[in-house]
Amino acid sequence: MSERIIIFDTTLRDGEQSPGASMGERAKVEVARQLERLGVDVIEAGFPISSPGDFEAVQAVAKAVTKPIVAGLARCVKGDIDAAAKAVEKAKKPRIHVFLATSKIHMKYKLKKAEEEILKLAVDSVKHAKEFVDDVEFSPEDASRTDLDFLATVFDAVVDAGATTVNIPDTVGYAIPDEFGNVIKHLRENTRNGRKAVISVHCHNDLGLAVANSLAAVANGARQVECTINGIGERAGNCSLEEVVMAIRTRKDVLNFRTGIKTREIIKASRLVSKLTGIIVQPNKAIVGHNAFAHEAGIHQDGMLKERTTYEIMKPADIGLTESRLVLGKHSGRHAFSERLKKLRYSLSRAEVDKAFAAFKVLADKKKEIYDEDIQALIEEQLVTIPPTYRLEYVQISSGTNTIPTATVCLKKDDNVLQDASCGDGPVDAAYKTIDRITKMKCRLMDYSLQAVTGGKDAMGEVVVRVRHHASGVEVTGRGTSTDIIEASAKAYVNAVNRLIFLKGTRQTKS
């Protein structure tokens, strides 16, 4: 039977210490509720003494969740501990987490205290915290640079004082996996209380080794890992929750452990934290990055299409995504391109595919990523000419500060001249509603962009629209240019309508 690893999430405390990542009470509660859905065992909600706002946020989190332990951080200072106790008192499962530096460099330059003073202060603080809660965690700050014998002495002393968890932090991300694993092993084997308290680890990512150090610690006896969503935190961040959890899940052959994390909630947690903190997840970030399940190289795409496990060690669904992405770009091969054509419901001959693929390669040298709309436009331009079902004859606008915007549009279909008028929120909206009335095509405008093609006051403007057809759900792009932006807008929308009509006809023919 595999042993269970406790997942201690400190996104709301250490993660929030990322520059610019401060979260208010409502944001913290929202993240805490998602962490509860994710299945974390402990939520470190904040540092209550640091500010009135943080104190109130910890209180709010303590009331908002019931399943996880809720911890408040405190220095080995009586006022800190009292504030933390007050902040978590309404929690169903409260914890006070006290910390004190133990490395020589911190004792000499920051605390200006001797080992005997540090030891006494640590013991007294744990005992004081124990007066409020049964669950007390102690952290010897900068443990990875602390003398091992002194670290073992502190470990035994705080457990004797009542600490139920002792956290060994690699505070400055200095450790190397083998070295850090040996620290944990030493504490397990060379202390009286090495097996009486839970050994936790809190690793920073200054050398990019936070996850590796955490896993090395687990392999050597640590049973709690402190981490954050997306790996956010001080400086280079913390051990990434999603990475350490998925490493344990994926490599059960060498890591005979398990967690209580509901991994399908990972992507929701990642995106929520990114949104609320404003910290964008880098595209190549493991597990949750935009490119984590994306494949562009032709060889990789060919392998993926034949057997997913050739290039994926996890399923996207495991973290809450729907599917992998085969990104079409200049490295993509014919196999992936042909599969995308089938997905878009194009049935082309071999010669047509060859012609389209050659044009695709030319386009791929100009664009980083090719979207479905690009392929549709490419097929239409390379293989067929879209018959202009409708042509814009003119558009006339009535608009002003105290006037309801009204558009009169005239379209020509074959030899028939069709004209109508409609009101809207603005001149462009009025024109689009009129075009819908004339063409009987109910569409939704998904995106609209305008840019100048040339310079000067008489610049030519290009409008690009993305339109979704209500009935079919098909999305197309349309383009229009003119020195008049209203005319360019109308041309772009008519172009999109013509594309929809053409696609509808070709698909009905093929079906």
- The strand pair at 475-482 and 461-469 is best described as antiparallel
Tell me how far apart the alpha carbons of residues 388 and 500 are, in angstroms, rounded to a whole number: 11
Domain ranges of the chain: 3-277, 294-383, 391-510
pTM above 0.75, yes or no: no
Q: What is the DSSP letter of 454?
A: S
pLDDT of residue 67: 97
d(CA 334, CA 328): 10
Q: Please say whether the dihedral angle defined by the alpha carbons of residues 495, 496, 502 and 506, taken in this order, is positive or negative.
A: positive
d(CA 428, CA 486): 6
Q: How far is CA 442 from CA 179, 413, 436, 470, 474, in A?
A: 65, 18, 6, 6, 12
Other CB atoms within 10 Å distance of the CB of residue 202? 28
CB–CB of 15/22 below 8 Å?
Answer: no
C-alpha span between 98 and 105 (Å, rounded): 20
Q: Quick one: residue 440, left, alpha or beta (phi over 0 = left, psi -120 to 50 = alpha)?
A: left
Strands 42-46, 6-9: pairing kind: parallel
Is residue 139 within 8 Å of 199, Cβ to Cβ? no
Identify the CATH number of the domain defined by range 391-510: 3.30.160.270
Distance CA 218, CA 202 (A): 11
Q: What is the pLDDT of residue 283?
A: 81
Please report the pLDDT score of residue 147 as a whole number: 95
Q: How far is CA 495 from the centre of its chain?
A: 36
Tens-level pLDDT at each residue, the chain (511 residues): 789 999 999 999 998 888 767 788 999 999 999 999 999 999 999 999 999 999 999 999 999 999 999 999 999 999 999 999 999 999 999 999 999 999 999 999 888 889 999 999 999 999 999 999 999 999 999 999 999 999 999 999 999 999 999 999 999 999 999 999 999 999 999 999 999 999 999 999 999 999 999 999 999 999 999 999 999 999 999 999 999 999 999 999 999 999 999 999 998 999 899 888 888 888 889 888 877 665 445 555 555 556 656 656 777 778 886 655 555 666 677 777 777 777 776 767 788 778 878 877 777 776 666 666 667 666 655 555 567 899 999 999 998 888 899 999 999 999 899 999 999 999 999 999 999 999 998 899 998 988 875 555 556 677 888 899 988 888 888 888 787 889 989 999 998 999 888 877 655 444 3
* Residue carrying structure tokens 């350490």: 244
pLDDT value at position 511?
39
- List beta partners, residue 421: 408
Q: Where are the alpha helices (DSSP H) in 20-143?
A: 25-38, 52-64, 78-88, 104-106, 115-130
| CATH 3.90.870.30 matches 3-277 | no
